[in-house]
Amino acid sequence: MKIGMIGLGRMGRNMADRIKGAGHGVVGYDLSPESGRDVDSLEALVKALDAPRAIWVMVPAGKPIEETIDRLHDLLEPGDLVIDGGNTRFTQDQEHAKRLAERGIGLVDVGTSNGIWGKEKGYALMAGGSDEDYQRILPILEALKPEGENGLVHAGGIGAGHYVKMVHNGIEYGMMQALAEGYAIMQASPLVKNPDAVAASWREGSVIKSWLLDLMVKALQEDPGLEHIAGKADESGEAKWMVQDALELGVPVPVTTASLYARQDSQIDDPVTMKVVSALRAEFGGHPIAKE
């Protein structure tokens, strides 16, 4: 099978290589001439593929995916298929599908996990779309997934792939924060001699053994006590979308929410909430107030 690949950043390049490694053809395009692209325009990409085409898009959520969908809407033909492998919000998938369907173009949304480890070990893939479209790209999905029976699921209709990837990331936020809280209290407690060694010991025989624990131990080996890392963490959107949808569904997700708030807090230098609390304490109790 031969597909197009739009976006040859770290993720797209690695995925293209893994697909080619499985014996398929890939025509790659990227905005940047330094990307090692095979063609230098979307028009050329479309020409380089025989109809019906399948084009995997691996570009950032937001404006880049919106623009790419718009361009493909104009350039592709009825019967062609777009695979969005990025982190698009599931609500957008449904709009993209509607727009592409105006011209008879299909869409499959695929959530992918495993980051920089996927090229070698395979990517966990979660796909949304019709059974027919899913079957059509199955050879590519099989090439990308890890060995074994797991690592690939057809999660539901349009949007379901990105939806369950969003949920996966929400779980990831909670697990990371759980590990972080445990490590932080060990570092603060005078009782614990060597928190890094304790974390390492948990890698076998414990209930919390996990890849994230392994990675935490690796990070602690590279930088004991994490002394050289700043206490700030970004958020990437998925946990936020998950909480917003959970609110609609009436499913309380306090751990996902708390994990997200912890990251947001770490990005705020001078929280307005604490200005209010500090001002109130001064008003009723004469408590001293820090001035800026």
DSSP letter at 264?
H
Nearer to a copy of itself among residue 30 and residue 80 (C-beta): 30
CA 270 from centre of chain = 29
Least separation in angstroms between residue 159's CB and a copy of itself is 6
Nearer to a copy of itself among residue 68 and residue 114 (C-beta): 114
Asked if residue 4 lies in contact with residue 25, where contact means CB atoms within 8 angstroms, the answer is: no
- Give CA separation, 197 vs 189, 190, 256, in Å: 15, 15, 28
Distance CA 54, CA 76 (A): 10
Nearer to a copy of itself among residue 44 and residue 185 (C-beta): 185
Give the length of the chain. 292
Asked if residue 108 lies in contact with residue 133, where contact means CB atoms within 8 angstroms, the answer is: yes
Distance CA 285, CA 80 (A): 69
Nearer to a copy of itself among residue 39 and residue 217 (C-beta): 217
Least separation in angstroms between residue 105's CB and a copy of itself is 21
Least separation in angstroms between residue 45's CB and a copy of itself is 26
Least separation in angstroms between residue 241's CB and a copy of itself is 9
Distance CA 125, CA 109 (A): 10
Least separation in angstroms between residue 26's CB and a copy of itself is 20
Q: What are 207's two structure tokens?
A: 């209930």
- Give CA separation, 241 vs 90, 152, 250, in Å: 9, 23, 14
Nearer to a copy of itself among residue 41 and residue 267 (C-beta): 267
Which stretch of DSSP H or E encloses residue 25?
strand 25-29
Which residues belong to the active site? Answer: 165, 172
Asked if residue 129 lies in contact with residue 109, where contact means CB atoms within 8 angstroms, the answer is: yes
DSSP string, 85-101: -S---HHHHHHHHHHHH
Least separation in angstroms between residue 106's CB and a copy of itself is 18
Nearer to a copy of itself among residue 50 and residue 290 (C-beta): 290
